[in-house]
Chain A
Amino acid sequence: MNRFANRPHHDELAAALRESLRTLIARLDGTARFELRVALNAFEILEREAAYGDAPADAERERLAALLAQDGSLDELRGELCARLRDGRASPDDPALLTTLRAGVLARLAIDQPDFKSLPLSGDRP
């Protein structure tokens, strides 16, 4: 965490902002309450994204490079995987592909919506 700025530090100021938004939300109703809840949600996404830093992108790049057996930037590798899925060189039934994709999605969800969980296997699906 950056300790260059004066107190409150980044996390302390963020906590104060979060508390303030929550207090306001509790006082409001209707559209204003809804819009402020959306704002708090957006702020929390940004906070989580900042806390993870570059690590998720680096990990995703490495996973894709291993799956595709080629090197490149994250954008290039994503583009290559999409191209292979479009022309049939990669299959949506390939377990290794699905495992790779799942790891990336879970890392994005950890930023966007950490409470959203995968469903368990099994059930009465055909």
Chain B
Amino acid sequence: MSDGNELAGKLQAAWRRARGIAVDIDALRPLSSGASSNTFAFEAVASGLHERCILQLDAGGESFVSALSKSEQARAQQAAFAAGVRTPEVLLCVGADDGLADGFVSRFVDGETLGKRIVGDSRYADARRALPQQCAQALAGIHALDADALAFLPLRTATTQIAELAARHRHYGENLPVFEAAFAWLAGHPPPARAPCVIHGDFRTGNLLVDDDGLAAVLDWELAHRGDAMEDLGWLCMRSWRFGRDDLPVGGFGRRAELHEHYERASGTAVDPAAVHFWELLGTLKWGVICQWFAHRRLRGELRHLEPAVIGRRVSEVELQLLDLLEGRGP
């Protein structure tokens, strides 16, 4: 409890510094701790103010690709919020000056993130009907952000991503012919060059906060970068985020034609289905190399739990997904 009091005191001081008012910090509680973030919920209370908030602090863990710092993540998220994208408003950034890890406070938004419930529960039937259009609009909004104003976002093209993945994969020293076939296919089918725009980078079921009306907020901006708009569309369609609804390629809730049509209407940009397919295949390969990354960190003893070892055995699932994509199977 004293840890909680100490954190509350630091938050109170940070709030006064950043927003110029004294608030009480109530109901502070940890929500989750992951490799990259420790997340807390709290309420900021003053006369005329009662704000439910989320605090995310850097957890110092290793991430697969160089993720954004929390303050960069906050800048990207706030730019999206200011442009009207449904994402939690950033209220203040915190850091060393506050005696805290790098982090930020955002407004709490209520909803569900568990993929299985979003794609399956009858409660979300109306939400599922609304989600393809809402996701298309959110993506169009993100892709229309001023990339020059967010120039700190790393540029990640197809070429740089393939090179990064290949280096990772070969470093593990496992000969996986299916992965090599995927690398060879990607090298032979590069998408046409497009002007780089702001990409969310992890726009998928699981990172979408959903309520009864559909998309309430886009979360987890730590993989935001600049690149090909089609990347976000391909990533959203990966089988790994369908949570069993393999017949509905868009996040387990929608069809490709709906997503593409709404995206074109919202963005004024034509969808290139071949490029979306390319990025879906690249994303699937990336997930496969991430499975290897978990397994090898466990094998080196950097991780101690059983789960990363078992994740290594999900490589075969990814191999089948890659073959399905190479053979044009699936909806």
| Residues of chain A at the chain B interface (Cβ within 8 Å) | 35, 38-39, 41-42, 45, 75, 78-79, 81-82, 85-86, 88, 90-93, 97-98, 101-102, 104-106, 108-109, 111-113, 116, 118-121, 123-126
- Known interface pairs A92-B326, A126-B277. Does A108 touch B316 (Cβ–Cβ under 8 Å)? yes
> How long is the Cα–Cα vector from A40 to B317 in the complex, in angstroms?
18
**Which of A93, A108, A120 contacts B319 (CB under 8 A)?**
A108
* Residue among B176, B178, B246, B273 with most chain A CB within 10 A: B178
Q: Which of the 9-residue segments B10-18, B86-94, B302-310 touches chain A? A: B302-310
Q: Is B116 an interface residue (CB 8 A)?
A: no
Q: Is B151 an interface residue (CB 8 A)?
A: no
| CB-based contact A41/B181 at 8 Å | no
- Known interface pairs A38-B306, A41-B310, A98-B323. Does A125 touch B184 (Cβ–Cβ under 8 Å)? no
- Known interface pairs A85-B177, A91-B184, A102-B323. Does A109 touch B330 (Cβ–Cβ under 8 Å)? no
A33 to chain B, nearest CB (A): 13
**Which of B180, B182, B255 contacts A81 (CB under 8 A)?**
B180
Which chain A residues lie closer than 8 Å to B182 at the CB level?
Answer: 92
| CB-based contact A109/B331 at 8 Å | no
Q: Is B107 an interface residue (CB 8 A)?
A: no
A-B contact pairs, 11 of them (CB 8 A): A82-B176, A85-B180, A91-B184, A92-B185, A97-B181, A112-B316, A113-B316, A116-B316, A121-B327, A124-B331, A125-B256
**Which of B176, B184, B320 contacts A109 (CB under 8 A)?**
B320
Which chain B residues lie closer than 8 Å to A123 at the CB level?
Answer: 329-331
Residues 207 to 235 of chain B near chain A (Cβ within 8 Å)? none
Please give me the residue from chain B that is nearest to A109 by CB atom: B316
Residues 149 to 198 of chain B near chain A (Cβ within 8 Å)? 175-178, 180-185, 188
Please give me the residue from chain A that is nearest to B275 by CB atom: A126
> How long is the Cα–Cα vector from A121 to B331 in the complex, in angstroms?
8
**Which of A92, A111, A116, A120 contacts B181 (CB under 8 A)?**
A92
Please give me the residue from chain A that is nearest to B306 by CB atom: A38
| CB-based contact A79/B175 at 8 Å | yes
- List 9 extra interface pairs beyond A82-B180, A118-B324, CB under 8 A: A35-B305, A79-B175, A85-B177, A91-B184, A92-B326, A97-B181, A105-B316, A118-B320, A121-B329
> How long is the Cα–Cα vector from A111 to B320 in the complex, in angstroms?
13
Q: Is B83 an interface residue (CB 8 A)?
A: no
Please give me the residue from chain A that is nearest to B328 by CB atom: A125
Q: Is B204 an interface residue (CB 8 A)?
A: no
- Known interface pairs A38-B307, A125-B328. Does A109 touch B317 (Cβ–Cβ under 8 Å)? yes
A69 to chain B, nearest CB (A): 16
- Known interface pairs A45-B313, A126-B277. Does A81 touch B177 (Cβ–Cβ under 8 Å)? yes
Please give me the residue from chain A that is nearest to B237 by CB atom: A125
